[in-house]
C-alpha cells in the first residue's frame, strides 16, 4: 500500500513539474519533420539549394490538394534566411521571366526562351489558332530604339524575300504593346554545326554537308545580299539532314562595282535599312571575318567566301586555321593537311588574304567543289601533266585495275602454254 502511494505521488509530481524551455540554437542543423524525415533531408535553412525546388513544388501544388509553404512567413527568421539563400541562377531565371514579352492580344503564347543575343531574344511559342510551334524573335528591351527596331524588321524582310529551303521562312511580323518589334519564323529542331561530331563522318559526307551550306548563301549572293556573320553557330543541321543558315540580322545589300572585281576597296555594301549600322562599325565574328571586314573597309560577297573557307577548314580538320595575314601559300597548305592537293587549294583560295585572289561568290566556290567531287579539274589548282595523270588514275581506278589484272593473267596463261 505504501509503495503504491509513493509511486502515485511521484507520478503526480512529474505531471505537475513544468518542462524546461530550451533556447533554440540557430547554429545547429535541424532535421525536417516533414515527409522527408526518414531520408535524413534537412530543413531549407540548412540546405539552401533545396529552397527553389521547395518553392516550385509549393507553386505547383497551389491549386492541388496541398498548400504547404516551406519558405516560412514573411516575418519569420526562416523566411529571411531563405531569401538570403536564393542562388544566382534562380535570380537570373526570375529576371528573365520578368522580362518575357507580353503577347496578350496576339495569337501567340510563349513557352520558353531559346536564345539571347545583343539585338534580340528568341522564344519558343505556340501559334494558338493553328496549334503549331513557332520561334519568335523579339527585340530586347535595352535595344528598343528606332535604328535597331528598323534592323529587326529589315531582317524579317530579308528572310521573307529569300525563299529557299536553306533559309528559315517568316510567318508573321508585328509590334508588341511596349513598342518592341518581333517576327515569327518556323521552329527548327536540330543541332548547330559546332555541336556535330564531324570526326565521325566520312570525307564525302563532310563535303556534302559543306556543299549544302553553300547553296543558300549562293542564293543570297545572287540577289545581292551578304550575310556578314557566317560561322558554325549560325548553321543549323535539322533532324532530317537539312541545312539552314540562320541569323541574317546584319545582312547587307551589296553595291560593289562589278566592273572592277579585283579591287579590294570597292564601295561598301548598303544597309538593308539605311542608317542601321554606323559608319566604321566592325560587324562579324573574330576568326571568321575577312581581313577587309575586320578593318571596317568596303566588302562584297567575297567576305562571305572567306568565312566559308574557314568553315570548310573547320569541317575537314576540326579546328580553325592558325596563320597570320602575311602567311604565304606554302604555309597555308601546310596548315591544311586533310585531303588532296586540289581540296587544299580550294580552301586556300577561299581564305586568300586579298579579295581578288578568292572566289567571286559562293556559287563559284560551290561549282569548284562540285567539280572536285566529280573528279574533274578545279580552278583553284593549276594542273601539270603528272597531276592530270594522277587525277585520271584516281577517277578510273577500278577499270584500270581490271585491265591490268586481265593483261597479267593473259600473259601468264600464254607463258604456261608456250612450247
Name the helix (H) or strand (E) containing 313: helix 301-317
Whether the CA torsion 277, 282, 287, 293 is positive or negative: it is positive
CA separation for the pair 99, 76 (Å, rounded): 30
The Cα 379–Cα 367 span in angstroms is 10
Residue-wise DSSP of 256-306: --TT-TT-SSPPPPEESSTTSS-TT---S-TTTS-HHHHTT----HHHHHH
Query: Three-state DSSP class for 337?
Result: coil
CA 280 to chain CA mean position, Å: 27
> Does residue 368 carry a catalytic annotation?
no
DSSP 27: T
Q: Are 113 and 123 in contact (CB under 8 A)?
A: yes
Q: What are phi and psi of 2, to 5 degrees?
A: -65, -40
- Comparing CA positions, the residue from 225, 193, 229 lying closest to residue 117 is 229
Looking only at the bridges linking them, the beta strands covering 225-226 and 190-192 are: unpaired
What span, in angstroms and rounded, lies between the C-alpha atoms of 98 and 53? Answer: 19
Catalytic residue among 127, 229, 271, 304: 229
* CB burial of residue 5 (10 Å; 0-12, 13-18, 19+): exposed
Nearest residue to 39 (alpha-carbon basis) of 28, 50, 27:
50
Beta strands 252-253 and 235-238 are: unpaired
Shortest CA distance to 376 belongs to which of 401, 340, 328, 336? 340
C-alpha cell at 264: 579590294
Locate 191 and state its grid cell: 543541332
Active site residues: 229
Amino acid at each position: 500500500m505504501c509503495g503504491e502511494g509513493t509511486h502515485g505521488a511521484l507520478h503526480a509530481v512529474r505531471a505537475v513539474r513544468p518542462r524546461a524551455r530550451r533556447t533554440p540554437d540557430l547554429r545547429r542543423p535541424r532535421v525536417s519533420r516533414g515527409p522527408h524525415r526518414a531520408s535524413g533531408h534537412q530543413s531549407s535553412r540548412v540546405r539552401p539549394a533545396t529552397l527553389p525546388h521547395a518553392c516550385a513544388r509549393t507553386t505547383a501544388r497551389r491549386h492541388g490538394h496541398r498548400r504547404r509553404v516551406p519558405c516560412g512567413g514573411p516575418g519569420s527568421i526562416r523566411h529571411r534566411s531563405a531569401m538570403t539563400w536564393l542562388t544566382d541562377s534562380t535570380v537570373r531565371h526570375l529576371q528573365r521571366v520578368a522580362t518575357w514579352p507580353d503577347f496578350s492580344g496576339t495569337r501567340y503564347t510563349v513557352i520558353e526562351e531559346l536564345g539571347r543575343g545583343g539585338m534580340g531574344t528568341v522564344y519558343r511559342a505556340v501559334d494558338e489558332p493553328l496549334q503549331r510551334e513557332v520561334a519568335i524573335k523579339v527585340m530586347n528591351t535595352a535595344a528598343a530604339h528606332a535604328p535597331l527596331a528598323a534592323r529587326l524588321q529589315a531582317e524579317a524582310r530579308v528572310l521573307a524575300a529569300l525563299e529557299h529551303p536553306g533559309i528559315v521562312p517568316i510567318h508573321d511580323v508585328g509590334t508588341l504593346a511596349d513598342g518592341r518589334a518581333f517576327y515569327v519564323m518556323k521552329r527548327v529542331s536540330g543541332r548547330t554545326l559546332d555541336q556535330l561530331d564531324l570526326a565521325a563522318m566520312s570525307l564525302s559526307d563532310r563535303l556534302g554537308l559543306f556543299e549544302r551550306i553553300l547553296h543558300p548563301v549562293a542564293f543570297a549572293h545572287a540577289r545581292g545580299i551578304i550575310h556578314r556573320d557566317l560561322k558554325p553557330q549560325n548553321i543549323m543541321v535539322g533532324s532530317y539532314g537539312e541545312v539552314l543558315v540562320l541569323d541574317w540580322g546584319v545582312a547587307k545589300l551589296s553595291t560593289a562595282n562589278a566592273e572592277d572585281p579585283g579591287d579590294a576597296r570597292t564601295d561598301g555594301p548598303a544597309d538593308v535599312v539605311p542608317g542601321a549600322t554606323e559608319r566604321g562599325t566592325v560587324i562579324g565574328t573574330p576568326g571568321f571575318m575577312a581581313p577587309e571586314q575586320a578593318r571596317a573597309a568596303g566588302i562584297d560577297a567575297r567576305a562571305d567566301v572567306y568565312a566559308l573557307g574557314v568553315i570548310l577548314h573547320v569541317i575537314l580538320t576540326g579546328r580553325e586555321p592558325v596563320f597570320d595575314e602575311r602567311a604565304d601559300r606554302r604555309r597555308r597548305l601546310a596548315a591544311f593537311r586533310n585531303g588532296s592537293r586540289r581540296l587544299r587549294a580550294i580552301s586556300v583560295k577561299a581564305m586568300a588574304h586579298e579579295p581578288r585572289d578568292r572566289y567571286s561568290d559562293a556559287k563559284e566556290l560551290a561549282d569548284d567543289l562540285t567539280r572536285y567531287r566529280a573528279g574533274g579539274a578545279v580552278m583553284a589548282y593549276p594542273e601539270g601533266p603528272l597531276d592530270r595523270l594522277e587525277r585520271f588514275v584516281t577517277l578510273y581506278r577500278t577499270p584500270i585495275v581490271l585491265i591490268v589484272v586481265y593483261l597479267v593473267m593473259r600473259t601468264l596463261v600464254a607463258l604456261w602454254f608456250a612450247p
